[in-house]
């Protein structure tokens, strides 16, 4: 049965990414409802950014199988490059981690935004310029008109990221992909930017995928969470499902890493992510899992509903032979 | 930023000073005693001394230098016996414009051909086209220009009779005829630079295209041609100008050789005939003029950097 | 244009690096071919008297300006001299002039570069301006100026070209010295009261010599080009010395009916320069520590 409450905006089925011999993503399954925010969490190298890049079809030197259906547009992975170019910036957009590096250093930020507006909305130069100033205001840039003639390197990190958000929202996208947008920023600014992104996407009814490594941030900001380990989705569901009702051993370990003010308990998961040459063919977490069974090493557990009563794509799912 | 510019200009003057001392010293080092030459075969010590005093050659080095420097700056560069003209007119008004015209024409042509070739090579990386252009680029940079000039003359001027074998007509006076005479020399001179600019553009563009802001531009839906030509190429301007600035010497060298091959009355020919004719004043003037030109252009290139790379402008 | 994701990079184990060096000649076929060609020229130069069929300066007016025949494989010039023999001996002159002038330039550049890099304050600034002044003229023009003072001839050409190359070498040496100077281990050595001279000898010099050696191999072709250019202009070696530049110039007037006079030495020069250029590129890519990227 389909989920009646929410329209699914993005549905990724069995996405697998190969780079050479290495399988960077292994049968990733994700769903996102309209207006929702999904957090992709995991360690560095887990494949979170790869998913976002693959959805945008900006992943070079890689072989991708599976499907990524965007509501109303079909399977993104099956479209031609020409069709994708039409979608990027309009239906789909992306914010990058290092905003300073993601802005062309040779053009003013005003020019970069207004040319985007010109192209996407077909505005004249003057109209695009005005609209750009409005957008700058809505992302919280003070002195928007003055800032239009600034070069990226003249702005602070937080300001640069706001510009990125403005550019990303210029085309009113249905889906916004935010690849660790706050990792390069000061802690105090991080919260501002996340709040900004959430507010603006909610205003426009857009959906958002946040790639994060910070579980705490994910819990505050997002409706849904998907936990990734070494290219495999190990647990996904609503924030409540994953944080309070989690059943996968890795999720438990991740949660215990989150420092709480007041406690003196600092625990970290044992071991490290295996290299691609040493990756087990089954569950990739099996090398570090305290609950690992012999079966886990050879057979990869499928992502199945955690409760048989709630089997919808947007419900709680886990991939484990021996869940808690 | 202004302070930096002034500092650079001040530095330039110091360098010019060193060069001028060296140029003046060059004359002093030249073999032959000018007084002896003027007096002939038999003379007395007294007449030698008086002539020496008359010419001011008994003064200490620095004083002589100062005299010469003042004269030089005012445009009195002496007279050339061979050219039967004032050196200033000969060098600055007649020879230099020819050299400058040829050099700028060739460089412009090289940029117009080399940059697109480099961009295409970068886009079509690791294809036959890329391999082919790499081979051509390698050959172009190593091939001696004077040989190329002779080959071009042999093929296009003698065999096909398409262009004149040699000679110069100023494009400023007669544009069509001037260009007609400049095509073969221009082609000869620009070949090295086309090759170099192609290689450089390709390498720089590949690095630029790897940058996050290029991926971000694609993520905004910019069509591929814009990503390459508007976002990418804009950012190769700085490295390109830097390297071209460093290669100005090669440009000048090439111009000198090309002038000789095609018999163009430029600085190259002037210097060569001066050396052969032992006209040290002309050599000195030529060296000084060339150095000043070179230093001046380098300064301009240096000062242009903030305009090319906004990151070098003052921070807010 | 792709976005780099961390899991995509793979480390190269140490054993592979060693065999990477050994397989250099297989990996870079052009480099190997070019090296063989260059060595061929060197051998021809070394054994010129044995390889050349004729005496390069022997004139024979009976066989003036003959096209290539079985007797004279590259034809003869306007004096009846055998071009093949002159080309072979030309290799000898080109390489001797090239190598010796580069040596002079390197030694001079080393001294000035070390002085500029190691001194501080005003003297450093002044030396830098001095180097700028030397560099203010391109090598050819400088060489022309030196020839004006020294006169013509093979030895004078070597000196002139050598002196004109001091500038570029000085600049490279200086920047290498600067790079080493700012590294922390120099400070550490000085903190341990090791004398400054020892610091120079044991730490700075090795780091400077190696890139300098790389530069030397690269600039030999430049020296050969400049000296050939001087001879081509008529202000280099004197006739009847079998120098390629000179031969090309001599053949210029006869290009319409005896093109081999200029073409033979011309292509000999071109091939050597191309070969040296490929070798230089290969050397630079393999051994220049600045360019080397450890994958």
Does pLDDT of C20 surpass 60?
Answer: no
Least-confidence region, from B198-202, C11-15, C90-94, C216-220: C11-15
pLDDT tens digits for A90-121? 889 999 988 888 999 989 999 999 999 998 88
Does pLDDT of A242 surpass 90?
Answer: no
What's residue B39's pLDDT? 67
Rounded average pLDDT over B202-226: 90
Kindly report the average pLDDT of chain B as a whole number. Answer: 82
- Contact list in A for residue B218 (CB cut-off 8 A) is 58, 88
- Contact list in A for residue C2 (CB cut-off 8 A) is 53, 58-62
In the three-class reduction of DSSP (H, G, I as helix; E, B as strand; rest coil), residue C200 is classed as: helix
Does pLDDT of B310 surpass 90?
Answer: no
Order of all β-strands in the sheet with A22-33: A22-33, A8-19, A63-70, A74-75
pLDDT tens digits for C97-114? 999 999 999 999 988 888
Does pLDDT of C10 surpass 50?
Answer: no
Rounded average pLDDT over B134-146: 89
Where does the pLDDT of residue A295 fall: very low under 50, low under 70, confident under 90, or very high at 90 and above?
confident
DSSP chain B: -HHHHHHHHHHHHHHHHHHHHHHHHHHHHSSS-HHHHHH-S---HHHHHHHHHHTTTTS-HHHHHHHHHHHHHHT---EETTTTEEHHIIIIIIIHHHHHHHHHHHHHHHHHHHHHHHHHHHHTTTSHHHHHHHHHHHHHHHS-HHHHHHHHIIIIIIIS--S-SS----TTT-HHHHHHHHHHHHHHHHHHHHHHHHHHHHHHHHHHHTSHHHHHHHHTT--HHHIIIIIIGGGGHHHHHHHHHHTHHHHHHHHHHHHHHHT--SHHHHHHHHHHTT-HHHHHHHHHHHHHHHHHHHHHHHHHHHHH-GGGSPP-
Name the pTM for this structure: 0.81
Q: Quick one: residue B167, left, alpha or beta (phi over 0 = left, psi -120 to 50 = alpha)?
A: left
Q: What are chain A's partners, defined as 3 or more CB pairs within 8 angstroms?
A: B, C
Instruction: State the best of B209, B220, B235 to mutate against chain A, taking most chain A CBs within 10 Å.
Output: B220
**DSSP symbol at A153:** G
- Contact list in B for residue C166 (CB cut-off 8 A) is none
Residue A177, strand partner residues: A94, A209
Does pLDDT of A221 surpass 90?
Answer: no
Q: Quick one: residue C121, left, alpha or beta (phi over 0 = left, psi -120 to 50 = alpha)?
A: left
- Contact list in A for residue C1 (CB cut-off 8 A) is 58, 60
Buried b / exposed e across C196-219, counting CB within 10 Å, b at 16+?
Answer: eeebbeebbbebbeebbebbbbbb
Q: Tell me the pairing of strands B85-86 and A207-212.
A: unpaired
What's residue B190's pLDDT? 93
pLDDT tens digits for C115-153? 887 777 777 788 888 888 888 788 888 888 888 888 888
Cα A27 to Cα A12, A37, A64, A229, distances in angstroms: 9, 21, 10, 12
- Chain C 9-28, CB below 8 Å of chain A: which residues? 10
Pick C120 or C77 by higher pLDDT: C77
**DSSP symbol at C50:** H
> Which range is most confident: A30-44, B108-122, C76-90?
B108-122
Least-confidence region, from B147-151, B286-290, C199-203: C199-203
Q: Does C7 touch chain A (CB under 8 A)?
A: yes
What's residue B32's pLDDT? 66
Does pLDDT of A286 surpass 60?
Answer: yes
Do the beta carbons of residue C39 and residue C49 sit within 8 Å? no
Q: Does C147 touch chain B (CB under 8 A)?
A: yes
What's residue B82's pLDDT? 58
Least-confidence region, from A191-195, A278-282, C40-44, C151-155: A278-282
ipTM of this complex > 0.85? no
- Chain B 120-159, CB below 8 Å of chain C: which residues? 138-139, 141-144, 146-147, 150-151, 153-154, 158
pLDDT tens digits for A133-185? 999 998 888 888 888 989 998 898 889 999 999 999 988 898 999 998 887 78
Least-confidence region, from A213-222, A287-296, B163-172, C258-267: B163-172
Does pLDDT of C289 surpass 60?
Answer: no
A104: nearest CA partner in chain B = B213
Two tokens, residue A160: 């640069």
Please tell me the distance in Å from A47's CA to the nearest CA on chain C: 7
What's residue B36's pLDDT? 67
pLDDT tens digits for A50-79? 899 999 988 888 888 988 888 888 888 888
Q: Does B71 touch chain C (CB under 8 A)?
A: no
Q: What are chain B's partners, defined as 3 or more CB pairs within 8 angstroms?
A: A, C
Share of residues in chain C with pLDDT > 70 (%)? 81
Q: Does A88 touch chain B (CB under 8 A)?
A: yes
Classify residue A66 by burial, with Cβ atoms within 10 Å: 0-12, 13-18, 19+. middle
Long-range Cβ contact pairs of B9-12 (< 8 A, separation 24 or more): B9/B299, B11/C129, B11/C132, B12/B295, B12/B296, B12/B299
Please tell me the distance in Å from A114's CA to the nearest CA on chain C: 23
In the three-class reduction of DSSP (H, G, I as helix; E, B as strand; rest coil), residue A221 is classed as: helix
Rounded average pLDDT over A33-42: 88
Reported residue count of chain B is 316
Do the beta carbons of residue B145 and residue B258 sit within 8 Å? yes
Q: What are chain C's partners, defined as 3 or more CB pairs within 8 angstroms?
A: A, B
Pick A257 or A69 by higher pLDDT: A69
What's residue C24's pLDDT? 64
Rounded average pLDDT over B222-244: 89
B208: nearest CA partner in chain A = A104
Does pLDDT of A15 surpass 50?
Answer: yes
Whether B218 sits inside 8 A of C1 (CB atoms) is yes
Where does the pLDDT of residue B197 fall: very low under 50, low under 70, confident under 90, or very high at 90 and above?
very high
Say which of C137, C139, C148 has its CB closest to residue B30: C148
Q: Does B236 touch chain C (CB under 8 A)?
A: no
- Contact list in C for residue B272 (CB cut-off 8 A) is 144, 233-235
């Amino acid at each position: 049965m389909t989920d009646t409450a929410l329209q699914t905006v993005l549905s990724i089925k069995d996405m697998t990414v190969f780079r050479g011999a290495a399988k960077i993503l292994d049968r990733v399954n994700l769903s996102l409802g309209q207006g929702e925010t999904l957090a992709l969490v995991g360690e560095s190298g887990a494949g979170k950014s790869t998913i976002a890049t693959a959805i945008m079809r900006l992943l070079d030197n890689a072989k991708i199988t599976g499907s990524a259906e965007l509501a109303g547009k079909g399977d993104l992975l099956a479209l031609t490059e020409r069709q994708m170019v039409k979608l990027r910036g309009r239906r789909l957009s992306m914010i990058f981690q290092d905003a300073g590096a993601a802005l062309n250093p040779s053009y003013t930020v005003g020019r970069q935004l207004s040319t985007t507006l010109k192209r996407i909305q077909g505005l004249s130069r003057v109209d695009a310029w005005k609209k750009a100033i409005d957008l700058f205001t809505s992302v919280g840039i003070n002195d928007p008109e003055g800032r239009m003639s600034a070069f990226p390197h003249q702005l602070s990190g937080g300001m640069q990221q706001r510009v990125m958000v403005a550019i990303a929202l210029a085309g009113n996208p249905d889906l916004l992909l935010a690849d660790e947008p706050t990792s390069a920023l000061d802690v105090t600014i991080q919260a501002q930017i996340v709040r900004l992104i959430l507010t603006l996407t909610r205003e426009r009814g857009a959906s958002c995928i946040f790639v994060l490594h910070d579980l705490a941030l994910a819990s505050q900001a997002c409706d849904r969470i998907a936990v990734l380990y070494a290219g495999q989705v190990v647990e996904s569901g609503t924030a409540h499902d994953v944080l309070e009702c989690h059943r996968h051993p890795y999720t438990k370990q991740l949660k215990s890493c989150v420092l709480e003010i007041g406690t003196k308990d600092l625990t970290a998961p044992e071991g490290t992510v295996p290299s691609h040459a040493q990756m087990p063919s089954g569950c990739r977490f099996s090398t570090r899992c305290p609950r690992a069974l012999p079966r886990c090493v050879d057979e990869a557990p499928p992502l199945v509903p955690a409760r048989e009563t709630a089997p919808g794509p947007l419900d709680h799912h886990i991939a484990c032979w021996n869940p808690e | 930023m202004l302070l930096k510019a002034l500092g650079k200009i001040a530095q330039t003057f110091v360098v010019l000073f060193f060069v001028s001392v060296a140029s003046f010293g060059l004359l002093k080092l030249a073999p032959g005693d000018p007084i002896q030459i003027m007096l002939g075969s038999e003379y007395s010590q007294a007449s030698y001394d008086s002539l020496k005093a008359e010419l001011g050659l008994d003064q200490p080095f620095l004083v002589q230098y100062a005299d010469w420097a003042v004269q030089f700056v005012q445009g009195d560069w002496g007279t050339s016996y061979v050219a039967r003209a004032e050196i200033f007119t000969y060098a600055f008004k007649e020879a230099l414009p020819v050299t400058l015209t040829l050099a700028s024409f060739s460089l412009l042509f090289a940029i117009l051909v080399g940059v697109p070739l480099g961009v295409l090579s970068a886009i079509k990386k690791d294809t036959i086209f890329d391999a082919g252009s790499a081979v051509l680029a390698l050959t172009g940079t190593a091939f001696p220009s004077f040989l190329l000039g002779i080959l071009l003359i042999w093929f296009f001027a003698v065999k096909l009779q398409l262009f004149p074998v040699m000679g110069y007509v100023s494009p400023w006076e007669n544009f069509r005829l001037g260009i007609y005479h400049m095509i073969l020399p221009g082609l000869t001179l620009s070949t090295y630079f086309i090759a170099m600019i192609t290689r450089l553009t390709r390498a720089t563009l590949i690095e630029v295209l790897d940058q996050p802001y290029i991926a971000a531009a694609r993520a905004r839906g910019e069509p591929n041609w814009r990503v390459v030509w508007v976002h990418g190429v804009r950012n190769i301007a700085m490295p390109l100008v830097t390297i071209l600035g460093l290669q100005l010497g090669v440009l000048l060298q090439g111009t000198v050789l090309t002038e000789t091959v095609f018999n163009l009355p430029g600085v190259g020919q002037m210097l060569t005939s001066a050396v052969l004719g032992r006209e040290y004043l002309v050599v000195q003037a030529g060296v000084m003029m060339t150095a000043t030109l070179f230093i001046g252009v380098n300064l301009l290139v240096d000062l242009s950097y903030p305009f090319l790379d906004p990151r070098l402008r003052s921070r807010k | 244009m792709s976005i780099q994701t961390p899991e995509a990079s793979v480390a190269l184990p140490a054993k592979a690096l060693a065999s990477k060096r050994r397989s250099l000649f297989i990996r870079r076929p052009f480099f190997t071919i070019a090296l063989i060609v260059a060595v061929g020229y060197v051998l021809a130069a070394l054994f010129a008297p044995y390889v050349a069929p004729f005496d390069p300066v022997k004139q024979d007016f009976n066989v003036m300006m003959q096209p290539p025949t079985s007797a004279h494989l590259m034809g003869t010039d306007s004096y009846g001299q055998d071009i093949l023999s002159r080309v072979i001996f030309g290799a000898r002159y080109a390489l001797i002039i090239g190598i010796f002038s580069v040596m002079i330039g390197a030694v001079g550049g080393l001294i000035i570069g070390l002085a500029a890099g190691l001194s501080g304050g005003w003297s450093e600034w002044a030396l830098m301006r001095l180097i700028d002044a030397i560099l203010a003229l391109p090598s050819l023009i400088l060489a022309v100026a030196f020839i004006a003072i020294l006169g013509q001839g093979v030895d004078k050409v070597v000196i002139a070209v050598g002196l004109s190359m001091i500038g570029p070498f000085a600049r490279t040496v200086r920047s290498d010295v600067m790079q080493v100077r700012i590294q922390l281990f120099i400070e550490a050595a000085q903190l341990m009261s090791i004398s400054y001279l020892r610091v120079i000898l044991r730490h700075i010099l090795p780091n400077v010599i190696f890139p300098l050696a790389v530069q030397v191999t690269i600039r030999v072709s430049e020296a050969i080009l400049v000296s050939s250019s001087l001879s081509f202009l008529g202000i280099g070696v004197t006739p009847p010395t079998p120098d390629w530049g000179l031969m090309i110039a001599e053949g210029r007037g006869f290009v319409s009916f005896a093109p081999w006079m200029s073409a033979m030495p011309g292509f000999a020069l071109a091939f050597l320069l191309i070969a040296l250029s490929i070798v230089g590129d290969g050397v630079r890519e393999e051994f220049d520590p600045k360019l080397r990227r450890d994958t």
